[in-house]
Amino acid sequence: MTDSTLDPHDEPTFRVTEAARAAGVAPSTLRLWETQGLVAPARRASGQRLYSAADVARLQRISFLRREAGLNPAAIRATLEAEATPAAEPAITNEPMGAALRQLRQSRGETLEAVAQALGVSASALSTLERTGAGVSFKTLADLAQYYGTTVSALSGQDAPGGAVVRAQAARIWPMPVEGVRVEVLAEGRRQMDCHRFILAPGATSQGGYDHEGEEFITVIEGRFRITLDASEHYELGPGDSIYFESRRPHEWSNAADGQTVLIWINTPPTF
């Protein structure tokens, strides 16, 4: 957002600490970027800064340009202006997923506030997700699936029957409600493996570590992929590189390339 006042049609949903965590920086850094004209969050009457999903995506891009490209504030502003399009692209939404999450919460008799507190996110962010199927991080989506005893795959309709062959250019695409992440389903139906092609835009990240049961295999087709296991083991993979690990090990990841990164990502059993 560039307006310093709240727009009722685009109400920000992230506080400064949440937005800073999503961008991988300290809250004080967000305030510095504001003075440098890189971001302009909305504010409540009390002066509290509030960030929309679009603001958070912008912060992640700023963080990438500063950390990976080494750009100064002036160069970052110029890059962001060059990347801007005349009309903003519509947000990726998945309303059926949001409705499924709402039904799961209500079936357990839990409030938004209770679930938000358990996961360490804002109730407003969960409300946006349930209404529109958008506006959360990849980590939050994975944490929600685990909290409700289901999987991201199931929430996305991957349990639907499917044939043995998925043709090139015909893979079903999840309407993934996470900025910069495109997921293509490479094996439909109930299988012993979740088989996906991940296409990560520049700056795409899981925004934190998550874990679940099973084992995972990743191989990089294009670009560069950074993954951290147990918050201590750091790996950067290029084309042809692979990694295999137990899914219960907390893992967080990001696109480490200037352009897109393409992965083949397999989970077994299908617990993702």
Mean per-residue pLDDT over the chain, rounded: 82
CA 142 to chain centre: 10
Give 83's contacts (C-beta < 8 A, 6+ positions apart).
61
**Residue 105: per-residue pLDDT:** 92
The CATH-assigned architecture of domain 160-268 is Sandwich (2.60)
What's the whole-model pTM score?
A: 0.56
Nearest to 269 by CA among 250, 247, 244, 242: 247
CA triple 79-84-87, angle to 5 deg? 175
pLDDT > 70: percent of the chain = 85
**Is 86 a residue whose pLDDT tops 60?**
no
More confident site: 5 or 182:
182
Confidence of residue 253 (pLDDT cuts 50, 70, 90): very high
CA 29 to chain centre: 21
d(CA 180, CA 36): 25
Instruction: Assess contact for 206 and 139: CB atoms under 8 A.
Output: yes
> Mutual orientation of helices 123-132 and 112-119 as an angle, nearest 10°?
110
d(CA 240, CA 202): 19
**Residue 91: per-residue pLDDT:** 52
**Residue 160: per-residue pLDDT:** 56
pLDDT in tens, 92-112: 566 777 888 889 999 999 998
pLDDT in tens, 195-247: 899 999 998 888 888 888 899 999 999 999 999 999 999 999 999 999 999 99
**Residue 155: per-residue pLDDT:** 76
Instruction: Assess contact for 59 and 70: CB atoms under 8 A.
Output: no
Confidence of residue 8 (pLDDT cuts 50, 70, 90): very low
Nearest to 58 by CA among 75, 43, 80: 80
The CATH-assigned architecture of domain 14-83 is Orthogonal Bundle (1.10)
Q: In angstroms, what CA-CA distances link 82 with 79, 233, 261? A: 5, 36, 21
pLDDT in tens, 118-168: 888 888 888 888 887 776 777 888 888 889 888 877 776 655 555 677 677
CATH, domain range 95-152: 1.10.260.40
Q: What are the structural domain ranges in the chain?
A: 14-83, 95-152, 160-268
